[in-house]
Each structure stands twice: as structure tokens, then as C-alpha cells.
Amino acid sequence: MDKKNYREKLISTATRLFAERGLNGVSIRELSTAAGVSISMISYYFEGKEGLYSSVLQEQFSCFEYMATIKERDSGPMDKIEEYIRWSIQRHRDYPFLLRYYTSELTNPTRYFSSIVRPTLEKALHILIDIIKTGIDEKLFRGGLNPEDTALAMAGMVNYYFLSTLATEEFINHSPERDEELIRHYMDIFTRGILS
């Protein structure tokens, strides 16, 4: 039989369950059963339950690094904007989990938030601003446009949709087709407001 590594299995199961019900909403007994792994593996691979939670967190937020690469892509501002929206939507699949983190049940949530989440959100915003500035320079976007305002409105807009659909059937069951539909929807809004 193949050598198994249940570390990943634990992480993926924990990601789903913690996203659904939070750190204190899931017992490690239920978690290990759902993962099909012995309960003692949690202490074996991680430093207990909070250690597992921290590992999940770290993995969740590492995905933001991809966002930073969009700026360097060899494509026009319009394509980059679309890429940002696409990335946002895929990221928002994990939104319940991220929201949980914002109001974390960890022993010292504020420190984590300040050191990871906040800079990440600000970085994302500045990348958007840069893309829009480039669009204005290249005279693709309206000259009168305020890059900071536009980026904020855009990031907020995408955000707001997910906040309002969170935890609904619509959110949980969104398909790739629905994703594309959403991307077109936001690109339409963006286009209406921004093209020169």
C-alpha cells in the first residue's frame, strides 16, 4: 500500500470545517473522523488544535501572494483588471474562513490581523491603483478618473456582493459558469464607469 500523508488531508478537511463553523465550532474528534484519520494525528503533525488552525490560516493567506504577480503580467490594464476580478471571485470561495479570521477566536487575533491581513488588503488595493494609473497614462481610461477612488470603489464593490450572498445557497453552489457570469457583470460595471 502507498505511504500516506495525512497531514494534507487534515489541513484540507480543517479548512472546510473551520470555514463553516469556526475554531471553537468544530471538535478535533469530528474533524479527524471527517478526515478519516486518527485523532492523535493532530497532535502528531501539528501542535494541537490551535496549531492546525494556524497552519490553515497561513495557507489561506499565502494565496494573496499570487495577487501581487498580476501587476507584472504582460498584458493591458483591462486584462489585468479582469484578472483581478477573477482572482477575487476565486478567493471569495474561502471568504467565510477569511471573515472568521477577521474576528478571530485565536488567543491573540489582533497581532495576526495587523501583521498579515491588513498589509495584504492594502497591497491588493495599491496594485489596483497602479493598474488604473497605467490605464489612464495609456489613455485607455478616462483622464478625469481618480485612481484611488476608483480602486476603492471597485475592490469594495466586488467585496460587497460576496458579503451579501455569503452563507446562502447561491454562494455555496456557485459554479464555474456562474463565476464567468459574475466576471462579465463586474467588468461591465467597470467599463461603464472607467473607459475614456
Partner DNA sequence: TACTATAAATCAAACGTTCGTTATGATGAT
Partner DNA sequence: ATCATCATAACGAACGTTTGATTTATAGTA
Q: Which residues bind DNA (CB under 7 A)?
A: 1-7, 24, 26-30, 36-45, 48-50
> Which of these ranges, 23-31, 39-47, 55-63, 67-75, lies near a copy of itself under the rule CB under 8 A?
23-31
- Does 96 bind a copy of itself (CB under 8 A)? Our answer is yes
Which partner in a copy of itself, DNA, none is near 134 (CB below 5 to 8 A by kind)? none
Residue nearer to a copy of itself on the CB measure, 38 or 191 = 191
Residue nearer to a copy of itself on the CB measure, 21 or 178 = 21
HEC string of the chain? CCCCCHHHHHHHHHHHHHHHHCHHHCCHHHHHHHHCCCCHHHHHHCCHHHHHHHHHHHHHHHCHHHHHHHHHCCCCHHHHHHHHHHHHHHHHHHHHHHHHHHCCCCCCHHHHHHHHHHHHHHHHHHHHHHHHHHHHHCCCECCCCCHHHHHHHHHHHHHHHHHHHCCCHHHHCCCHHHHHHHHHHHHHHHHHHHEC
Among 65, 79, 138, 149, binds a copy of itself (CB under 8 A): 149
State in angstroms the smallest separation of the CB of 184 from a copy of itself.
Answer: 14
Residue nearer to a copy of itself on the CB measure, 6 or 161 = 161
